[in-house]
Structure 1
């Protein structure tokens, strides 16, 4: 069975365009019975939420975020769940804005757990 995302914290490996998710953004994921959701914040994002489903190693979700400039934006994302050689998890994402023009790909990786856990 695929590893649960519940309680895992992820960070982007690279910055996106200004006003979007960046390397200072942190996502805290939750998962239960095929449902996935997360809260995120950091960098140009004051607060963001995503909600969707997981089927095997695939996620399909919608996201909405409030930016530091007071603007909001939303979109749709599909992600592949990949286990890294060191045991952490990577999400390889393909996303498209629904509230504005734009689409792309990004990668977020699990933040290493503190030593001693």
Structure 2
């Protein structure tokens, strides 16, 4: 199993649709006893939170976010934790909005101190 996500900072590798998370968004993850949660912000997101569970290399969580235009939105995401060859962590995500229409996939990768 991949290592704990606790304390890791991850960022999307590509921008999503306008008004959603993008490469300027940063997710700070926490993990304890099978629970995962994170705060995120940046780009079009003023403040976001996610909370859920981890079983093995599978995350299952819901997220809610406040955007710069004052709108809020929420959804459900299932992610697979992948260990990268350079020792960083990647999450392969499949998500679906619950507060509005839409779904998709995204990839976030660990951000290291020297900017990768």
TM-score (norm 2): 0.96
Structure 1 unmatched ranges of 5 or more: none
Aligned-pair distance for 1:112? 1.6
* In 2, Cα distance between equivalents of 1:35 and 1:3: 14
CA distances 1:5-45 after superposition (whole Å, capped 9, x unpaired): 00000000000011100000000000000000000000000
* In 2, Cα distance between equivalents of 1:113 and 1:7: 13
Count of matched residue positions in the alignment of Structure 1 and Structure 2: 115
CA distances 1:84-104 after superposition (whole Å, capped 9, x unpaired): 000000000000000000000
Partner residue in 1 for 2:68: 68
* In 2, Cα distance between equivalents of 1:114 and 1:33: 30
Aligned-pair distance for 1:51? 0.1
Aligned-pair distance for 1:113? 3.2
* In 2, Cα distance between equivalents of 1:17 and 1:114: 27
User: Where in structure 1 do 4 or more consecutive aligned residues deviate above 3 Å?
Assistant: none
- Cα root mean square deviation, aligned: 1.1
Partner residue in 2 for 1:59: 59
Alignment of 1:32-43 (within 5 A): 32-43=32-43
Partner residue in 2 for 1:24: 24
* In 1, Cα distance between equivalents of 2:64 and 2:20: 11
Aligned-pair distance for 1:111? 0.2
* In 1, Cα distance between equivalents of 2:66 and 2:97: 14
Partner residue in 1 for 2:112: 112
Aligned-pair distance for 1:2? 2.9
CA distances 1:62-94 after superposition (whole Å, capped 9, x unpaired): 000000000000000000000000000000000
> Secondary structure of 2:15's partner?
coil
